[in-house]
């Protein structure tokens, strides 16, 4: 297979534009957003408008040209060619925005993580109905809208097959009961893709996916999490108590669930989003790495034959190598998605390596810069990056889960995941 990572002039110009925006507008406000626990909606609206004007859904995970429900799917090769490069540009944009502030990307209005399963498995009517709520960005009087993705439960995060939220058919409705936790934008979402099971003993074969709309009786918000990092982003608990969902909100209809389609819907979402999560981690890791390099240049003369200086240089070189390698994996996973090729293994590789490389970059930054770098008022961004980065080895599947996925796809004698 030929791998082509050359970017168009338009893509490079757009990346430079986002980089300039991150440097001059986003990063100067990052600490204030972190302390306030949120980002002003006027700013989010303007950022979402910018994303749609760029003609890409890269920054809003589906808000762009799919928000009006006009596109049914990407089934034929012609449609795929129209979107060629969208995923690859998405990871470029995600890295630059996260270099500015990773919380912003998670806060932008649009379908968010709920978009991929609706696009992958929804009926044409469902896509039109649920994406249509996101098209009023240019009407200042219209409220901003978000979508969300509800899979994780208190006792079932990494083990997706172990979800315990239940669903049962009752006439023309499905009745859902259970709890979902750590849901990004869960409290303010117009709708949330909720996974439940008809029978926990069936494992993945029992999974069903529903689009549960805000205000549905029996559907409520529990607590809003007080997090260590990504504090500008809302993370909520969702509660379903005999929640009655119309049968037309069963994602894809009954025929989708003859085998393990519900579980595969969840996995397709991860294949699309894990490279983006890896790119977000790289943005944070690169920010910490660049900060540390500047700190070292100002405070040390590494050319001097001092053992400690040689050790610092080696540590920085190791961090730089790790970030570059992870970036290449992330680009490849996104490129495969643009080509319409299976990318589950590559998506897991990119997410696993990028998270670890970025965590290492932040740890080394704090250690090399020492007390001055982590405590001094002028260096509080370093402390914020250190708090923000840990979750990138956890959400969208922990590093351990990624390694299991990778090994099962690499080793032919293990059952496919």
Is residue 69 over pLDDT 50?
no
Structure tokens at 344: 């589950």
Element (DSSP H or E) covering residue 399? helix 399-410
Specify whether the CB–CB gap between 358 and 284 falls below 8 A: yes
Q: How far apart are CA 16 and CA 153, in angstroms?
A: 39
Q: For residue 319, what pLDDT band results from cuts at 50, 70 and 90?
A: very high
Query: Which parts of 185-311 are beta strand (E)?
Result: 189-197, 207-213, 219-224, 235-246
Contact 218, 242 (CB under 8 A): yes
Which stretch, 37-46, 75-84, 151-160, 298-307, has highest mean pLDDT?
A: 37-46
Among all residues, which ones are annotated catalytic?
A: 396
Q: Give tens-digit pLDDT for 372-403.
A: 656 655 568 999 999 999 999 888 777 777 78
Q: Which helix (H) or strand (E) holds 297?
A: helix 261-299
Q: Is the pLDDT of residue 22 over 90?
A: yes
Residue 264, pLDDT score: 67
Per the model's pLDDT, the better-predicted residue between 57 and 231 turns out to be 231
DSSP H helices, 109-160, are 115-121, 124-131
Q: CA distances (Å), 359 to each of 198, 280, 373, 394, 397, in order? A: 39, 12, 17, 12, 16
Q: What is the pTM of this model?
A: 0.87
CB-based burial of residue 307 (10 Å sphere; 0-12 exposed, 13-18 middle, 19+ buried)? exposed
Given pLDDT bands bounded at 50, 70 and 90, which one contains residue 14?
Answer: confident
- Whether pLDDT at 169 is above 90: yes
The tokens describing 388, both together, are 């923000």
Q: Which of 75-79, 119-123, 180-184, 193-197 has the lowest mean pLDDT?
A: 75-79
Distance CA 33, CA 101 (A): 9
**Cα–chain-centroid distance for residue 57?**
13
Give 213's strand partners. Answer: 191
The helix (run of H) or strand (run of E) holding residue 26 is none
Rounded to whole angstroms, how far apart are CA atoms 199 and 166? 7
Could you tell me whether strands 189-197 and 146-150 are parallel, antiparallel, or unpaired per DSSP bridges?
parallel
Query: Is residue 92 predicted with pLDDT exceeding 80?
Result: yes
Distance CA 89, CA 97 (A): 12
**Which is more confidently placed, 262 or 267?**
267
Structural domains of the chain, ranges and CATH numbers in brackets: 9-134 (1.10.540.10), 146-261 (2.40.110.10), 263-410 (1.20.140.10)
**Residue 76: is it exposed, middle or buried by C-beta count within 10 angstroms (0-12/13-18/19+)?**
exposed
Half-sphere exposure of 242 (CA within 13 A, CB side): 1
Tell me which residue has tokens 């996973």. Answer: 333
Q: Give strand pairing partners of 9.
A: none
């Amino acid at each position: 297979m030929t791998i082509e990572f050359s970017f168009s002039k338009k893509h490079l110009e757009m990346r430079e534009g986002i980089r300039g925006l991150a440097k001059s507008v986003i990063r100067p406000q990052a600490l204030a957003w972190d302390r306030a626990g949120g980002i002003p909606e006027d700013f989010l609206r303007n950022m979402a408008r910018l994303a749609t004007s760029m003609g890409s859904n890269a920054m809003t995970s589906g808000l762009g040209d799919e928000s009006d429900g006009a596109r049914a799917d990407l089934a034929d090769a012609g449609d795929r060619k129209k979107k060629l490069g969208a995923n690859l540009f998405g990871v470029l944009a995600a890295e630059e925005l996260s270099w500015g502030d990773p919380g912003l990307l998670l806060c932008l209005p649009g379908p968010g993580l709920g978009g991929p399963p609706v696009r992958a498995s929804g009926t044409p009517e469902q896509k039109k109905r649920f994406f249509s709520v996101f098209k009023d960005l240019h009407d200042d009087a219209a409220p901003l809208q978000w979508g969300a993705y509800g899979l994780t439960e208190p006792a079932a995060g990494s083990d997706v097959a172990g979800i315990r939220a239940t669903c049962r058919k009752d006439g023309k409705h499905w009745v859902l009961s259970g709890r979902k936790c750590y849901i990004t934008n869960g409290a303010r979402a117009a709708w949330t893709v909720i996974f439940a099971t008809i029978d926990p003993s069936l494992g993945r074969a029992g999974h069903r996916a529903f689009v549960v709309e805000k205000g549905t009786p029996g559907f409520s918000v529990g607590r809003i999490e007080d997090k260590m990092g990504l504090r500008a982003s809302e993370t909520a608990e969702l509660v379903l108590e005999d929640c009655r969902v119309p049968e037309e909100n069963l994602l894809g209809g009954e025929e989708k669930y003859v085998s393990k389609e519900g579980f595969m819907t969840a996995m397709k979402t991860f294949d699309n989003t894990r490279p983006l999560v890896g790119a977000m981690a790289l943005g944070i890791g690169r920010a910490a790495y660049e900060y540390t390099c500047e700190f070292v240049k100002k405070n040390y003369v590494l050319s001097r034959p001092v053992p400690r200086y040689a050790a610092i240089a080696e540590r920085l070189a190791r961090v730089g190598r790790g970030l570059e390698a992870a970036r290449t994996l992330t680009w490849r996973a996104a490129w495969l998605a643009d080509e319409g090729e299976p990318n589950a293994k590559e998506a897991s590789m990119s997410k696993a390596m990028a998270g670890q490389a970025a965590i290492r970059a932040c740890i080394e930054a704090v250690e090399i810069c020492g007390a001055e770098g982590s405590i001094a008022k002028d260096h509080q961004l370093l402390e914020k990056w250190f708090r923000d980065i840990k979750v990138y080895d956890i959400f969208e599947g922990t590093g351990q889960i990624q390694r299991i996925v990778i090994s099962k796809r690499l080793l032919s004698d293990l059952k496919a995941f």
